[in-house]
Chain A
Amino acid sequence: MRMLINVPETVVADALRGMAAAHPELNVDVENRVVVRRDAPAPGKVGLVSGGGSGHEPLHGGFVGPGMLAAACPGEVFTSPVPDQMVRAAAAVDSGEGVLFIVKNYTGDVLNFDMAAELAEDEGVRIAKVLVNDDVAVTDSLFTAGRRGTGATLFVEKLAGAAAEEGAPLERVEAIARRVNERARSFGVALSACTTPSKGSPTFDLPAGELELGVGIHGEPGRERRAMMTSREIADYSVNAVLEDLRPNGPVLALVNGMGATPLLELYGFNAEVQRVLAERDVSVARTLVGNYVTSLDMAGCSVTLCQVDEELLRLWDAPVKTPALRWGC
C-alpha cells in the first residue's frame, strides 16, 4: 500500500495533530475530534457546526474560521462522526444564539446528527438543522435514502456562515442555508477509484480507460460507466445533468471541484469547458471557484456544482472569510 501514513487506525488523529500545528488560529481537540474556531463562542453569533467522514479534506475542518464554520467534527475515514463530537462542538460554539447543524444526506450523518441534536437540546442549546442533498445523479424516491449531499455543502457553509458572521438570528441563518441547498445542484465524475486506509486497495473496480458518471464522494456509482471521454465531453454531460434539474433563471456560483488526485492543470482546463457550456446555455456565472474542496481521498475526477444566487447570496459569498482552505476579503 503506497500511502503516507503510519497505521490506518491513527490516520485521522495524526492528520488533526498536523492540522493543529499548521493552524494555531484553530482549537484542534485531537482526542475528542472537534475543530473549533479560536474565538468561539463568538458573542451574539449563531454557531455553525458541520461534520462528516474524514477523507474529504479540506471539507470540513478546512472551513472552520471567521465567516464560515464555528466548528467541525471529523469522523473516521468515510464514516460519520459520533453524536458525542457534535454535542461537544455545539457546547463549545454556542453563545446563547443557537447552533445550526449542517448535515450531508447520508444515513450515518443524518442519524448521528439527529441524536446529537436531541442531546444538545437536553443541555439547553438551541439547535436547527439543514440537510444538504444536491447530487442530481441520484434519483430520489420514497424507497431510497434520497439524494447525496456533495459540493453544495461548501456553498451552504460559506453563505450561511457569512450570515451568522453578520449577526443574523438562528431562524434567518437556517433559512439561508435551506435556500442555498434548494438552489444548488451537483454532478460528479470519477476517473479512478479511491483507496481507503483501512482497506488498502481501491474501494471499487474501475478498469483503465473507463469512467464513472454521477459518482458520489465515497465512490458510490452513479448513472453509468462509459469509455473515457474528453474534458469537453465530460463538461457537456455534467453541466447538462445539473441544468436539467436546476434550470436557473439568474446568475450562478460555479464550483469546479477536484476529487483529490486530479491536478489543477486539468481542473482549470475542465473549468474552461464548463464555462463554455454555461455560456452556450445562456447561464451567467457570477463567481467561480476551482480546486480541491470536497475530495474523495486519492480519487481522480471532478464535480460541478452550480448555485443560483440573488443579490443577498452574492453579497454573502463576497463577504470576508478566513479559514485554512477558503480565505478572501480579510
Chain B
Amino acid sequence: MLDAEFFRRWMTTTAETVEREADRLTELDSAIGDADHGSNLRRGFAAVTAVLEKDNPDTPGAVLTLAGRQLISTVGGASGPLYGTLLRSTGKALGDAAEVTREQLADALSAGVAAVGRLGGAAAGDKTMLDALLPAAESLSESFEAAAAAAETGALATVPLQARKGRASYLGERSMGHQDPGAASSALLIGALADVAS
C-alpha cells in the first residue's frame, strides 16, 4: 500500500531529478520551443517541495492536489497548467483514502492524463507529454518499472513526430527530429515514481 509519505517522496524525488536534468530539458526545448522548460519545471517543483514541507498533507490525494495547485501557481507557460492539472486530477481521483494500491494509482493517473488531454486539446501522436503519459498510465497496472520504461519509450518515440500542439506546432515539419521536452520531463516524473517504489 502507498501512503502520503510515499507520494511526498515521489514529488521530492521528481524535484531532485528535474533539478539534475534541467539543462537537458532546456536544451531539448531550445530546439523546438523557447528554451525554458527545464528552468520553469525546476522552479515549480522546488516550490512543490517547499509547500509539502510546510503544509504536510496527510493523504495521497491531498499531496498530489496540493502539488498540482502549486505548479499552476509557480510554473507559468503551458507546462504549469498541464502538469498542475495532471497532479490535481490524479489527486482528486484518489479521493481521501489514507493508503492506496498501485492499481488505484494507475486508474487515478489515467484520469489525470485524460484531464491533461482535455485541457490541451491533444491526443496521442501530437508530440506532447501525452505520448509519454498515456503508455505510462496503461503500464502502471502491470508494474512501476513497466510504467517507467513505457514513459521513456514513449518520450523517445516523439523524436520523428511532427508537433501538432503547443508552440512547437509553429515549426511544422521542422519540429521533426527533436524529442518533445514535455514528453521527456513526463518520463522523468514516472521514472521518479518507479525509483521511489523500488
Contact = CB atoms under 8 A, between A and B. Distances in A.
Given A111-B82, A145-B170, A148-B170, A199 B26 contact: yes
Contact of B77 (A75, A203, A220): A75
A80 interface: yes
Given A82-B72, A82-B74, A112 B39 contact: no
A229 to B, nearest CB: 20
Contacts of B3: none
Contacts of B174: 221
DSSP majority for the B interface?
A: helix
Contact of B81 (A77, A84, A108, A204): A108
A77 B169 contact: no
A78 interface: yes
B170 A107 contact: no
A82 B76 contact: yes
- What is the interface residue range for chain B against chain A? 20 to 34
Nearest to B38: A198
Contacts of B34: 53, 78-79, 196, 203, 218-220
A81 B170 contact: no
Contacts of B179: none
A78 B81 CA distance: 16
Contact of B30 (A76, A111, A138, A199): A199
Q: Main SS of chain A's interface residues? A: loop
Nearest to B170: A220
B36 A196 contact: yes
Contacts of A115: 72, 81
Nearest to A146: B169
A82 B75 contact: yes
B51 to A, nearest CB: 13
B76 A112 contact: yes
A80 B77 contact: yes
B35 A198 contact: yes
Interface of A: 8, 53, 75-84, 106-108, 111-112, 114-115, 138, 143-145, 148, 196, 198-199, 203-204, 216, 218-222
Given A145-B167, A216-B170, 9 more contacts: A79-B76, A79-B77, A83-B73, A106-B167, A107-B120, A108-B76, A112-B81, A196-B35, A198-B35
